[in-house]
Amino acid sequence: MTVRQPPASQRRRIAILGATGSIGSNALAVIALHPERFEVVALSAQRNIHKLLLFCQQFRPRRVVVTEPAAALALIAQLSASGLASIEVRVGADALDSIASAADVDLVIAAIVGAAGLSSTLAAAGAGKTLLLANKESVVMAGPLLFAALAASGGQLIPLDSEHNAIFQCLPRDYRRNPAAHGIRRVLLTASGGPFLGFSREALRLVTPEQAVRHPRWTMGRKISVDSATLMNKGLEVIEAHWLFGLAADQIDVLVHPQSLVHSLVEYVDGSLLAQLGPADMRTPIAQALAWPERIDSGVARLDLLSAGSLCFEPPDLHAFPCLALAQAALRQGPMAAVVLNAANEVAVDAFLTGQLSFLGIAEVIEASLAAVIQTNVFTLPTVLATDSEARRVASALIQQLEKRHG
């Protein structure tokens, strides 16, 4: 079958928020394969101006955003020296919101890690953009607000996480967050198990940040790698699946699948299980989302099932990895509990990476924060941000207490 290619005048105009991270870099690798389809209009980065400059030289965006002023000044000088002074450089969070909602942007790839990506994600949703979402924290923190914004603006969301994109691919094209209407019984999110698969709780007491960020299958940033090691990444994905697909908590299960070839499954009421398989390479879901509803080359090598070997599945060990259970409990508790969970996790992971907290202390801080932070029933952006701030304060205080105790 011949797929119709859009003319250059109809290329999709793209803004990538978090261009120098793993998702952003992989997205640009796919885009580079299809210059006739896509135009990079805007890029953002926090401080990695060396990599951002290389992307500017290759893709010639109209504007870039750097969140740190000193890095922005350095980038302006380097762009001028490279003959790219026409590229506009903006600074700060408000500038991120502006490129996410700009009139000359059709499609926004939201790949900023953590709560820092919330405002720009909401800005893109409110402006009616096609939102390719890799920032799971935005859904975890503000799922009701995000989907209300999409409904009001007519925007569209396509998930980029390998697991949620796999589910997206296994659902009917006209799916509208109503599992009963489509005969869906449940979804099964797969987890690699991370670098500590098979470790006992006792064995996890002395693991180091360097060990935690060495993921056996995926190349990811340090924060996400630690989340994978604790299984919090899967817990956040459970909450995300609830909002993305309209699923009840008991319709979302997790399976540990060390080979990372089956990226998730959808079970229908007739007993059918539909699964999406592919190499452990983020370019596959990115290409699917960029071209949806069509298909394009991602640059990924074909999956050879004959050489893949056995595919194994097992339940997660919630005793050794309690973060998954904490996330499941937060989903059942309500949307503001997920705000606390996410904030406490970000603070705890940062403390672990900087040597202030043990690996097992991450879950301890999250659990104590969930118990300590008062959660309002009024769910608005101001109350979300206030709860997020309070949870970070509480988590930081708990970490200091633990440091003194173990000092």
Which DSSP string do the residues of 127-186 spell out, in sequence order? TT-EEEE--HHHHHHHHHHHHHHHHHHT-EEEE-SHHHHHHHHHS-TT--S-TGGGTEEE
pLDDT at 220 over 80: no
**349-363 per-position pLDDT tens digit:** 999 999 999 999 999
pLDDT of res. 217: 76
Q: What average pLDDT score do residues 206-225 get?
A: 87
Tell me the backbone φ, ψ of residue 89, rounded to 5 degrees: -110, 125
What are the extents of the domains in the chain? Answer: 8-159, 161-332, 334-407
pLDDT of res. 1: 27
Percent of the chain with pLDDT over 70: 97
pLDDT at 70 over 50: yes
Instruction: Write down the architecture of domain 8-159 according to CATH.
Output: 3-Layer(aba) Sandwich (3.40)
Percent of the chain with pLDDT over 90: 88
User: What is the spatial distance between Cα 375 and Cα 125, in angstroms, rounded to a whole number?
Assistant: 26
For residue 172, the one-letter residue type is P
User: What is the spatial distance between Cα 203 and Cα 238, in angstroms, rounded to a whole number?
Assistant: 26
**318-367 per-position pLDDT tens digit:** 999 999 999 999 999 999 999 999 999 999 999 999 999 999 999 999 99
CA of residue 261 relative to chain centroid, distance: 19
**285-311 per-position pLDDT tens digit:** 999 999 999 999 999 999 999 998 899
**242-267 per-position pLDDT tens digit:** 999 999 999 999 999 999 999 999 99
**How many alpha carbons fall within 13 Å on the CB side of residue 252?**
28
Query: What is the token pair recorded at 208?
Result: 């180091």
The pLDDT-based confidence of 137 (bands split at 50, 70, 90) is: confident
pLDDT of res. 4: 40
pLDDT at 221 over 60: yes
Q: What average pLDDT score do residues 208-233 get?
A: 89
Do 276 and 263 meet the contact criterion of CB atoms below 8 Å apart?
yes
CA of residue 7 relative to chain centroid, distance: 31
pLDDT at 81 over 80: yes
**357-400 per-position pLDDT tens digit:** 999 999 999 999 999 999 988 899 999 999 999 999 999 999 99
pLDDT of res. 406: 66
User: What is the spatial distance between Cα 100 and Cα 120, in angstroms, rounded to a whole number?
Assistant: 6
pLDDT of res. 407: 57
pLDDT at 5 over 50: no
Averaged pLDDT of the chain: 93
Instruction: Write down the architecture of domain 334-407 according to CATH.
Output: Orthogonal Bundle (1.10)
